[in-house]
Structure 1
Amino acid sequence: MATPGAVEAKGTGGGTDKMAALKEIYKQLKAEVLEDHAAEIADHESAIQWIDRMVDYNVLGGKCNRLLSVIDTYKILKGVDVLSQEETFLACTLGWCIEWLHAHFLVLDDIMDNSQTRRGQPCWFSVPQVGLIAINDAIILRNHVLRILRRHFKGKPYYADIIDLFNEAEFKVVSGELLDLIITHEGRKDLTRYNETIYRHIAQYKTAYYSFYIPVACALLLASENIDNFGDVKNILIEIGIYFQVQDDYLDCFGDPVFIGKIGTDIEEYKCSWLVVQALKHADVNQTSILFENYGKSDPACVAKVKDLYKELNLELVFREYERELYIKLIANIKAQPNKAVQTLLKSFLHKIYKREK
C-alpha cells in the first residue's frame, strides 16, 4: 500500500506534465492488478497479455474528466494549488477507479447497443478475436476497481464509505440501463411512452450520479467530510449531469463523428433521447406521423427523414434555449451555496461542459 516515489506532486500542475504524472500512476495500478492475475494464472502468459491490452484499450483514450474532477475538487476543498505526493496519489487512484468503472460500463453498453465506434476506434467487442469475450473483460474491469480500492484504502477511516459509494454508483447505473432498455422496448410499440420524466430518470441513473456526483463525493471523503451534509451539492451535480446527457444526445445527431469520436446511433436504436422527446412535444399531427414511420429504423433514408424533421422543428434552437435557461438556473443555485469553496467547485464542473462540442 505504499505511495510510489516516482510521481512528484508537482506533476499535477497542468498540461502535458499533469497527464504524464497521472499516466504514471495508472501504469502502477495496472501493474498491480496484472500481478494479481499472474498470481492466479501464472502459467498462462497469453491471458496476462490479453488483460494488459484490454485495460489499455478500454480505460485509456477518454478525456479523463472523472479522474481530473476528483483531483481538482480535492484541491478546491483543501484550498491549495498543489497537493502533497500522498494526497496526489490517493486522489488520482480514486479518479482512475472511476475511469475503470466507466470502462466497465462502456464495454457492456456498446455490446447492448451494437455500437460501432468508441473514442475514435472500434468498440472492444468488435475487435477481431474479442467478440463476446468482452463480457468477461467488463467483469474483470469491475473487479479491478475493488482490488485497487482494497490495496490502497483498506484501513482508511472512509474505506467502507468509498466501497458503498462505488457499489451505489453501479446499482444506479445498471438500474438506469435496465430502465433505458425496457422503455426502448416499450417505445417500439408506442413511441408516446417517451416523455421528459422518463428521460430524466434514465439520464440521472445512467450518467449523472456516477460521472458527476461520485468524483466530488470521493474528494469529500478524502477531505474527511461527511457526504450526508452535502445534499444540495449532490442535487446540483446531478442536474449538471443530466445536462451533460442532453448534450450527448444532441451531439449524437448534430455532432461531427470525426470530432466527437463516435457515430451516433440513437435514431436507429429507438433510444429515448432528449431530441425525440422534444420532437414529440413540438410536432404537429403530420410531423408525428413521419416520426412514427421512420424512428428506430436502420435504413439511412429513414434516419435522414428523422434528422430532417429535427431540423424542421428547429430542435437546435430548442436545445440552445434549454442550455441558456438551465445555465441561469444553475448559476443561481450555485451562488446560493454558503460555502465559497463549494461554489467554486460547482462552477468549475458547469463551465467544463457548458456549450461543449464533443
Structure 2
Amino acid sequence: MSSKVDAKTQRRQKFEDVFPVLRDELLAYLTKENMPQDAVEWYKRNLDYNVPGGKLNRGMSVVDSVAILKGGSLTDDEYFRAALLGWCVELLQAFFLVSDDMMDQSVTRRGQPCWFRIEHVNYIAINDSFMLEGAIYHLLKSHFRSEPYYVDLLELFHETTFQTELGQLIDLITAPEDHVDLSKFSLKKHSLIVIYKTAYYSFYLPVALAMHMCGIPHSTTNDPYVLAQSILVPLGEYFQVQDDFLDFAGTPEQIGKIGTDIIDNKCSWCINTALALATPAQRAVLDENYGRKDAACEARIKTLYEELRIRERYAEYEEKAYTRIIGLIQTIPETPIAPAGQAVLRREVFKAFLDKIYKRQK
C-alpha cells in the first residue's frame, strides 16, 4: 500500500514541478512587455494562490492519457508538453473557480479564503480570472504554434470554455441561492447542467488534448473524438451524481468538508430524485425546507431523503451507470491496429478514469 501512495505522491510532485517553469515564463512575458513590477508581483500572487492548490486530477489526467496512448513511458520533452497541456486545464479550472466564487459569494475555496476576499483584491478578481484564462493561450502559442494540431487545441479550449459557461448559466438561473423555486428543478435539468458545467471540461477536455498531442486524427467515419466524448460525458455525469450523493451521505472525514447542497439550494441529483418520487405531502416538506439557512430545515430534508430511500436509489443508479460505461468502453477494439507510428484510442484511457471513480467514498 505504501509503495502505491509513494508512487502517487511522486507522480503529483513531478507534475507540480512543471508549474513554476510555466509561471516564470508568464511573468517573463509581462516583464518583456514593460509591465510595472507591482503588476508582475500581483500576477505571480494570483497564479500561485489560485492554480496549483487543488487535487490536480484534471491536469494529471492529460499526462496519464498521453502515456497510455503512446504505450509506455514518455521522454522528458513529451512529459513536459503533456504536463503543460495539463496545467492549461488547471488554469481553466482556476479561471472558473475565481469567477464562480464571486458569483456565489463563497467564503472559502480549497481550505483558504476565496481570492476575491483577500485584502485589496475584491473586484480586481474579475480581471484576475481573465488573466488566468489568457495564460492558456499564451502558453499554447509559445509551445504548440508550429504543430499541425495547434488550431485543434485552440478550438477545443474555446469550445469547452463556452460549454462550461452555458452550464454555469443554466445552474445560476435555475438554482439561485437566495430564491428557492423547486418547480424549476428536474432530473433532465440536472443532467443538462452537469454535462455542460462539469463533464466537458473535467473529463472530455483532458483526453481530447492527449489525443491531439499523440496525433490521433479526426475521421469522417467512426471519429475517435466523437467516440471518446460518448464515453467521457456519461462518465462525467456519473462523477457529479456521485459527488451530489456524497454531499448528502458522506461524512466530513470522508469528503473533507461539510455538505452544504441542501442549505445552498443546489440543483443536485438528490433533490431532483426526491422531487420525482415525492407524494404531495412530501413535496410540501421539500418546498418548505429546501434551500433554507436553517439546521432544522436541513435535518427535515435529510430525514425525507432517508424515507425516500435515496441511498438505495443511488446504489441502483451507480450500478446502471457503471454497466453502461463499461459497455461503451467495449465498443473500442481491444487490440486496435494503428498505422505505423500513429497512436490510436485505447480502452485503458477510459478504464483508468472509471477505476478512480467507481465506488469512491471521497
Is the contact between residue 69 and residue 216 of structure 1 (CA under 8 Å) also seen in structure 2? Answer: yes
Pairing of 1:288-307 with structure 2 (within 5 A): 288-307=283-302
CA-to-partner distance for each residue in 1:133-175, whole Å, 9 max, x for gaps? 2222111100111111111111111000000000001000001
Is the contact between residue 194 and residue 277 of structure 1 (CA under 8 Å) also seen in structure 2? Answer: yes
Does 2:25 match 1:32? yes
Q: Supply the distance in 2 between the matched residues of 1:208 and 1:275 (Cα, whole angstroms).
A: 18
Residue identity matched to 1:162? L
**1:322 CA drift (Å):** 0.8
Q: Supply the distance in 2 between the matched residues of 1:227 and 1:67 (Cα, whole angstroms).
A: 23
Provide the residue aligned with 1:252 in structure 2: 247
Which deviates more, 238-247 or 297-306? 297-306
Is the contact between residue 66 and residue 99 of structure 1 (CA under 8 Å) also seen in structure 2? Answer: yes
Residue of structure 2 aligned with 1:206, choices 197, 213, 232: 197
> Size of the alignment, in residue pairs?
344
Residue identity matched to 2:197? K
Q: Supply the distance in 2 between the matched residues of 1:191 and 1:65 (Cα, whole angstroms).
A: 33
Residue identity matched to 1:238? V
Residue of structure 2 aligned with 1:116, choices 107, 124, 144: 107
**Shift in alpha-carbon separation, 1:64–1:189, aligned structure 2, 3 A:** closer
Pairing of 1:256-295 with structure 2 (within 5 A): 256-257=251-252, 259-295=254-290
CA-to-partner distance for each residue in 1:276-306, whole Å, 9 max, x for gaps? 1011012222111010011122222222222
Is the contact between residue 119 and residue 261 of structure 1 (CA under 8 Å) also seen in structure 2? Answer: no
**1:339 CA drift (Å):** 4.6
Does 2:212 match 1:221? yes
**Shift in alpha-carbon separation, 1:138–1:198, aligned structure 2, 3 A:** same
Residue identity matched to 1:23? E
Provide the residue aligned with 1:97 in structure 2: 88
SS of 2:175's equivalent in the other structure is: helix
Is the contact between residue 180 and residue 291 of structure 2 (CA under 8 Å) also seen in structure 1? Answer: no
Which deviates more, 62-71 or 138-147? 62-71
Residue of structure 1 aligned with 2:136, choices 142, 145, 148: 145
Task: Point out where structure 2 has 5 or more consecutive residues left out of the alignment.
Answer: 1-5, 336-344
Pairing of 1:71-220 with structure 2 (within 5 A): 71-80=63-72, 82-185=73-176, 188=179, 190-220=181-211
Does 2:355 match 1:351? yes
- The Cα RMSD (Å) is 2.1
Moved over 6 A (4+): none
Does 2:44 match 1:49? no
Is the contact between residue 120 and residue 258 of structure 1 (CA under 8 Å) also seen in structure 2? Answer: no
**1:200 CA drift (Å):** 0.9
Residue identity matched to 1:137? D
Q: Supply the distance in 1 between the matched residues of 2:142 and 2:170 (Cα, whole angstroms).
A: 34
| Superposition TM-score, scaled by structure 2 size | 0.89
Q: Supply the distance in 2 between the matched residues of 1:126 and 1:177 (Cα, whole angstroms).
A: 21
**Shift in alpha-carbon separation, 1:256–1:186, aligned structure 2, 3 A:** closer
**1:262 CA drift (Å):** 4.2
**1:327 CA drift (Å):** 0.7
Is the contact between residue 177 and residue 291 of structure 2 (CA under 8 Å) also seen in structure 1? Answer: no
**1:85 CA drift (Å):** 1.2
Provide the residue aligned with 1:337 in structure 2: 332
CA-to-partner distance for each residue in 1:308-337, whole Å, 9 max, x for gaps? 222222212211221112111211221222
**Shift in alpha-carbon separation, 1:121–1:357, aligned structure 2, 3 A:** farther
**Shift in alpha-carbon separation, 1:227–1:91, aligned structure 2, 3 A:** farther
Does 2:323 match 1:328? yes
**1:186 CA drift (Å):** 12
Task: Point out where structure 1 has 5 or more consecutive residues left out of the alignment.
Answer: 1-12
Q: Supply the distance in 1 between the matched residues of 2:105 and 2:348 (Cα, whole angstroms).
A: 40
**1:264 CA drift (Å):** 3.4
**1:242 CA drift (Å):** 0.6
**Shift in alpha-carbon separation, 1:61–1:258, aligned structure 2, 3 A:** farther
| Superposition TM-score, scaled by structure 1 size | 0.90
Provide the residue aligned with 2:341 in structure 1: none
Is the contact between residue 175 and residue 181 of structure 2 (CA under 8 Å) also seen in structure 1? Answer: no
Q: Supply the distance in 1 between the matched residues of 2:250 and 2:108 (Cα, whole angstroms).
A: 14
Provide the residue aligned with 1:10 in structure 2: none
Q: Supply the distance in 2 between the matched residues of 1:287 and 1:164 (Cα, whole angstroms).
A: 47
Is the contact between residue 16 and residue 52 of structure 2 (CA under 8 Å) also seen in structure 1? Answer: no
SS of 1:110's equivalent in the other structure is: helix
Provide the residue aligned with 2:10 in structure 1: 17
**Shift in alpha-carbon separation, 1:115–1:153, aligned structure 2, 3 A:** same
